[in-house]
Amino acid sequence: MNTQRPVTLLLVIVLLVAGCASPSAPAEGTGQVSFMVFGDPQEKAAYDALVEAFHTKHPAIRIALIHIPGQDEYRQRLGMDFAAGTAADVVLINYRRYASFAARGVLEPLDPYLANSPVLDVGDFYQQALAPFYWENTLMCIPQNLSSLVVYYNKDLFDAAGQPYPIDDWTWEEFLQAAQALTQDTDGDGRTDQYGLGTEPSIFRVAPFIWQNGGLLVDTPVRPRRLMLDMPASRAAIEWFVNLQVRYGVVPGAVEEESESSESRFLNGRMGMYLNSRRGVPTYREIDGFDWDVVPLPRNKQRAGILHSDAYCMAASTADKAAAWTFIEYANSPEGQAIVAQSGRTVP
């Protein structure tokens, strides 16, 4: 009896079925995955705990954590590593920075992984957190956190200056008035010892004030072609923001900021208000020299804010993409997010 033909036919059928099958989620890998993050010791401890918990769930995959303490150093390292083709398999990238890497093709698109994930669904995420991480209509990174820009303020300094505490619906005028009252030469030597406000001099800090004044940053948020900072409403908001330092003197200048950062001044009780995201809260909770609180940004013609987010991104050069995705998937699961959120630095 000749069995060759039936066996051959069976193999052909199996191959055809396999070839026509619909795509499935990437299989869990069994290799090594490098994971690079930045942050202070508390944040590192959170990521150490995340990796340890992941190893318990997925013992066949080993995560090598690379920790860079400072954000500036981290950004430099990211740029050099991607340029050299030696980037870590999974990296944490801020929404401000990822586009340059996406444009160079060094990030692995995560749309197909998310679409086939049994753990995560695109509907699980706050859409405002996802939106910045789309490049050419493709999701490149999975957001790990989300935070708004707010005003932290020293209640004791407000009391000493006889100023009412800020309210949720306060205005630019009330904001400036408070900053002026809090800016003081406490020893009478003709130099400011206590500033009313600290803020980073960047487009990301001035942006919400531009929107509050009815201005625009760019002509269209999708595929922008030109900046709109010269439109009257935008220009007026920028001038007002710059004048907080130049005209009113309520914000430290470059020399003063170089000698001591605004955040350090706030922590030491020598700054009335400080603009920051959620990230500073655990540090501020360690303050025992004064009482502090938080309030939304002041409004002008309308209310507006800005959201900040960091995301897990996979390098396109990753050797074991299935293993890398398995880690990203776990890190963004309720269990993984709860571990990192315990640091208090992020809102999952």
Identify the DSSP state of 147.
E
Task: Check: CB of residue 88 under 8 Å from CB of residue 35.
Answer: yes
Return the exposure string of 240-278: e unless at least 16 CB atoms fall within 10 Å of the residue's CB, then b: bbeebbeeebbbbeeebbeeebbbebbbeebbbbbbbbb
- Ordered by start, the domain boundaries in the chain are 32-146+309-341, 148-307
Is the torsion defined by CA of 335, 279, 139, 92 positive or negative?
negative
Pick out the chain residues at pLDDT < 50: 1-28
Query: Which residues neighbour 152 within 8 Å (Cβ) at sequence distance 6 or greater?
Result: 266, 273, 274, 275, 276, 280, 284, 292, 293, 294
| Same fold: 32-146+309-341 with 148-307 | yes
β-bridge partners, 139: 134
Question: What is the reported pLDDT for 30?
Answer: 55
Task: Check: CB of residue 205 under 8 Å from CB of residue 238.
Answer: no
**CATH superfamily, domain at 148-307:** Periplasmic binding protein-like II (3.40.190.10)
pTM: 0.82
Question: What is the reported pLDDT for 348?
Answer: 67
- Measure the CA angle with vertex 94, ends 265 and 292; round to 5°: 30
Question: What is the reported pLDDT for 209?
Answer: 98
User: Considering the domain 32-146+309-341, what is its CATH architecture?
Assistant: 3-Layer(aba) Sandwich (3.40)
Question: What is the reported pLDDT for 246?
Answer: 97
DSSP letter string, 218-246: BS-SSS--SB-TTSHHHHHHHHHHHHHHH
Six-digit token pair at 108? 């692995």
Task: Check: CB of residue 47 under 8 Å from CB of residue 144.
Answer: no
Provide the residue type at 144 as one letter. Answer: Q
